[in-house]
Amino acid sequence: MTRDEQRAYLQIMFKIMEKTPGGGATIEDLIEAYEEATDRRPSERTVYRYIEKLELFFDPLARGEDLEEGEEEEDMGEELAPPLMGIKREKRGRKTYYLFEGDLQLPSLDLNQALLAVLNLYPQHVHILKESFDSVTRHMLKDIISGISMYSQVIDHLQKNVHVAGPVPADPEKNAKIMLDIFQAIRFKKRICLEYLRTYDGVITRREVEPYGFLSRLNNWYLVGKCLEKGELRLFSLPHIRDLEILDKTRFEIPREFSLKNFYRNSWGVWTQDPPPKTEEVILLADRGAAERFRALKFHPSQKVTELSAGRVEVSFRLGEAGEMVPWLLSWGTKVMVKEPDWLREEVKNALRNIEEEYERMERENS
């Protein structure tokens, strides 16, 4: 089975599960699911074939059982119990609806915790670990639909054997609740009112915002929305949102041509201007030690690595507003140097001079 076929089976299965509470998935829904997985639009016959194989996966007797030679129908013995789960077809009018039946037998999971887990996995899914994410998803699905629940054991092993270091949300439950509310506002096209901490002076401000979606960068999550006071797109750090209210009597439309991916794809961080600035090439030189990091990790979708002598590499990016890179560049010390553009190299040098001056001032005050 090819990778595209695997994804198509998963996507069709997920679509049936997703649509079941609302009455089931139509053949049109499943054609779209196949297309999402493979970027190819299938014929109805192809999708029907996938449905039949899913039915047989859950219930090998879904198409009936062939009689052995000389065996009569009444010799079949006791009627077998129906499968614990499977795909069910329901005919309503001229349409057939496909539904998922059965108990997944999973421990209950708080919706906020589930959302937080998915959001933490999603950046890896859409960037450098996409293939690994797909593989894990397939194995999880296989266990789930076989009625095997290993959630508690897996969590127990993770807690004993895995330690994650680095910045994490101080109040993850609050972040998850805020995101659920924002998703709800986006779904019903409602404006929201934020109480938002302005970081440069610590003042709590009130903002009315039309929410467009979320951005994730360096394990930080941001709301993207049109600030009605400023009349332009702004980004709001989720931990700085102190309170949020959905304004039920309002309605807005996200512009049809707007795409989060297209709007922010050239930004290094998240502080992209509106409209996006023109892009330019940034070229860095990494010494032998730092070079391994660039060979192993992709820090931006536009990253290109060129091998140099003595184990060094040249790394290029295509970015808008490359000034966002300065704090990150400082963290490398002398292991990563800016080759081009000249202005960015000067920005880094100025930042280093400012740091040195601040340390000298502090030492004078303490002497």
pLDDT tens digit sequence for 313-337 = 999 998 877 888 898 899 899 999 9
Tell me where in the chain the CATH 1.10.10.10 domain(s) lie: 3-60+82-102
Fold of 3-60+82-102: Arc Repressor Mutant, subunit A (1.10.10)
**Is pLDDT of 276 > 60?**
no
Tell me: pLDDT of 106 over 50.
no
Which range among 27-41, 264-278, 329-343 has the greatest average pLDDT?
A: 329-343
Three-state DSSP class for residue 135:
helix
- Inter-residue long-range contacts of 305-310, CB under 8 Å, 24+ positions, other chains counted: none
User: Which of 31-40, 101-110, 264-273, 284-293 has the least mean pLDDT?
Assistant: 101-110
DSSP conformation class of 22: G
Rounded Cα gap, residues 102 and 86, in angstroms: 7
**pLDDT class for 6, splitting at 50, 70, 90?**
confident
pLDDT band per the 50, 70, 90 thresholds, residue 149 = very low
pLDDT band for position 174 (cuts 50, 70, 90): confident
- Counting residues of the chain whose pLDDT is more than 90, the rounded percentage is 30
Comparing 65 with 60, the larger pLDDT belongs to 60
* Element containing residue 210 per DSSP (H, E): strand 203-217
0.75 cut: is pTM over it?
Answer: no
**What percentage of the chain carries pLDDT values higher than 70?**
67
| CATH number among 3.30.2320.30, 1.10.10.10, 2.30.30.520, 3.40.50.620, domain 172-264 | 2.30.30.520
For CATH 2.30.30.520, the residue range(s) in the chain are 172-264
Task: Please give the full DSSP string across 263-306, using - where no structure is assigned.
Answer: HHTTBSSS---SSPPPEEEEEEEE-HHHHHHHHH--SSTT-EEE
Q: Is the pLDDT of residue 162 over 80?
A: no
Residue 221's CB is within 10 A of a number of other CB atoms, namely 20
In angstroms, what CA-CA distances link 141 with 2, 84, 87, 112?
17, 15, 15, 21
Query: Which position has the token pair 């990091």?
Result: 293
Q: Which residue intervals of the chain bear CATH 3.30.70? A: 279-361
Residue 281 confidence class, pLDDT cut points 50, 70, 90: very high
Could you please state the CATH topology (level 3) that the domain comprising 279-361 is classified under. Alpha-Beta Plaits (3.30.70)
Residues 55/86, Cβ–Cβ less than 8 Å? yes
Helix and strand totals (H; E) in the chain:
11, 11
Q: What are the residues whose beta carbons fall under 8 Å from the beta carbon of 288, sequence distance 6 or more? A: 310, 311, 312
CB 175 within 8 A of CB 169: yes
Among 12-21, 52-61, 124-133, 291-300, the minimum mean pLDDT is found in 124-133
